[in-house]
Amino acid sequence: MKTALVVTSISAPNPVLTALAAGSIAHGWDFIVIGDTKSPDEFQLNGCDFLSVIKQQAGRHTLGQLCPTRSYARKNIGYLEAIARGASVIVETDDDNFPREDFWAPRSLHVSCRPVKHDGWVNVYRYFSDNFIYPRGLPLDHARDKPPVPAALQELECPLQQGLADANPDVDAVYRMLFPLPFDFDADVAPVALTDRAWCPFNSQNTTCFEKIFPLLYLPAHCSFRMTDIWRSFVAQRILHHLGYPVLFHNATVWQQRNEHSLHRDFCDEVPGYMHNHDIRNALMSLDFGTTSNLALLLEKCYECLIGRGWVGKEEEPLLAAWLTDLKALD
């Protein structure tokens, strides 16, 4: 299976990007970096195909012309480019996540994992550590919940696979302000797979997506920056469960040396999640998908809900339409 690695960055080639480029060369992966207006004018890195804003806007994808600049959602253009180049597996990370050797292992659609059956929120991080930790996007009133006991190992088809990150895991600003870091998860823990109505946020920092669900990669642009990948995950897992697929979480294959952040700004950007994540889950769970398995129709129905309730701006509609049009053109 042809694999592509997609990152968005405003950095010049740094040690993480250099390591990702070297690994991509060694393992035969395409490596696509999506720039933005703050990216350097010159970006040269062997093993990496850097797409500037000018290239994105002049490229083959309609979304490249419509997507706002200074937006993490420009990563969508990287997904489209990877698909256009024939990728059947897309792996994504960020420019501050160092890959370990097992990051480069070939991805398998079928994984031996422990299914988790539950109706509600699940703090997946607690399956990988006995210490207190929870993922960004998990409602705070569930941060200390004891996770349900998973079932015995079985092989499941898992087209969406979320890996953890050591050192600076993907936790929210509240955790970062109150609890010590760095933090490493336990190694050699069997993956867990959330089935049906069990929900946990997943991010875009160490994530694998298989061809059959590529449309679910879509990142919304017209919402809080700190919620774009989290709310994407809510839409994706609602649709995945409807289709009968679990959401897989596995042990850390990257470690993060976090880029500079303002924790106060992060907190402010995360407030929409603290306020609305419960309601978003309830609203998406209440949608009647009928028997359709058409991913475009399912995405449209989810975003109609999010936009109608005011969680995502109405300006998202033409972007989603362009995403779906671009995907159809690549069939």
Domain boundaries, the chain: 98-330
pLDDT tens figures, 66-85: 999 999 999 999 999 999 99
Going residue by residue through the chain (331 aa), what tens digit of pLDDT does each one get? 899 999 999 999 999 999 999 999 999 999 999 999 999 989 999 999 999 999 999 999 999 999 999 999 999 999 999 999 999 999 999 999 999 999 999 999 999 999 999 999 999 999 999 999 999 999 999 999 999 999 999 999 999 999 999 999 999 999 999 999 999 999 999 999 999 999 999 999 999 999 999 999 999 999 999 999 999 999 999 999 999 999 999 999 999 998 888 999 999 999 999 999 999 999 999 999 999 999 999 999 999 999 999 999 999 999 999 999 999 999 8
Report angle CA 57, 160, 32 to the nearest 5 degrees: 30
Provide the 10 A C-beta neighbour count for residue 220: 26
Do residues 55 and 34 lie in contact, with contact meaning Cβ atoms separated by under 8 Å? no
pLDDT at 260: 84
pLDDT at 12: 94
Alpha-carbon gap, residue 253 to 235, rounded angstroms: 25
Alpha-carbon gap, residue 171 to 43, rounded angstroms: 31
pLDDT at 331: 87
pLDDT at 209: 98
155 beta partners: 112
Strands 198-199 and 30-34: unpaired
pLDDT at 93: 98
Cis preceding-peptide flag for 182 (omega within 30 of 0): yes
pLDDT at 261: 85
Do residues 230 and 201 lie in contact, with contact meaning Cβ atoms separated by under 8 Å? yes
pLDDT tens figures, 139-182: 999 999 999 999 999 999 999 999 999 999 999 999 999 999 99
pLDDT at 169: 97
pLDDT at 259: 83
